[in-house]
Amino acid sequence: MDMNYNPLPTDWKKQVGEQPPFTMDQLRSKSPSLLLDKVHRSMRFEFYSALAGFLLALVALLMVDLNGISRLLCWLGLVVYAVLFALYFVRFFRFYRDSSQLVLNSYENMLGLYYDFRHIIEVYRSFYLVSLLVGLAFGFILGSIEGGKAEPIELTHLDHYVGWLVLTMLVFFGALVGIIEWWIHLVYGKPLQAIKSLLEELKEEMS
């Protein structure tokens, strides 16, 4: 990561008539690069974890004994997830690359990092929610097919079965969304709040 502050005095001297937004001592004492280091470590961990999970799912699908429409649905679900992962990964990678190369030598750069980081968190949330919905949809269809083969549902109990199924799905979905939100706040929300607090402190010191 390019977080070298040594060139700062030279760069500022070249800006005739302009004053530096804040001093190197202020930057070092706040350690904004440490926040980015933590975020980047979390992003690397999640990328490798997601990749490992995808490979394990692929191996499991090759080994599991499914036939006909059920096997086709599993492969289709895996392909859909792979496409989603690839599309979102491009945006995550761009943020990772750009923030790694960012030199935090001005208030404007810090502010740009804050807004980019906040945007990527929303993209991150969207990725997990869409993946969750796709996974639940494919799981529901697959479970209905396999469950119908084992024990067909009597029409007299269909309303009762559908009601409990919808309730179970809502509770399960709500629990997973809660876990996702907790994870986002823990891993990315706290660094974002720290950057916001740093910006507020620096703005006060500049005024």
Residue 1 lies in a domain: no
DSSP 104: -
Structural domains counted in the chain: 1
Residue 179 lies in a domain: yes
Is this structure's pTM higher than 0.75? no
All residues at 6 or more sequence positions from 130 whose CB lies less than 8 Å from its CB, including other chains: 84
pLDDT (0 to 100) of residue 26 = 47
Range of the domain at 106: 30-206
State mean pLDDT over 62-75. Answer: 78
Residue 171 lies in a domain: yes
State mean pLDDT over 109-113. Answer: 87
Cα–Cα distance measured from residue 192 to residue 39, given in angstroms and rounded to the nearest whole number: 9
Count Cα neighbours of 170 within 13 Å in the Cβ-side half-sphere.
6
Residue 185 lies in a domain: yes
Residue 186 lies in a domain: yes
Residue 2 lies in a domain: no
Q: Flag whether pLDDT at 44 surpasses 50.
A: yes
Residue 153 lies in a domain: yes
Count Cα neighbours of 61 within 13 Å in the Cβ-side half-sphere.
16
Backbone CA torsion sign across 179, 180, 185, 187:
positive
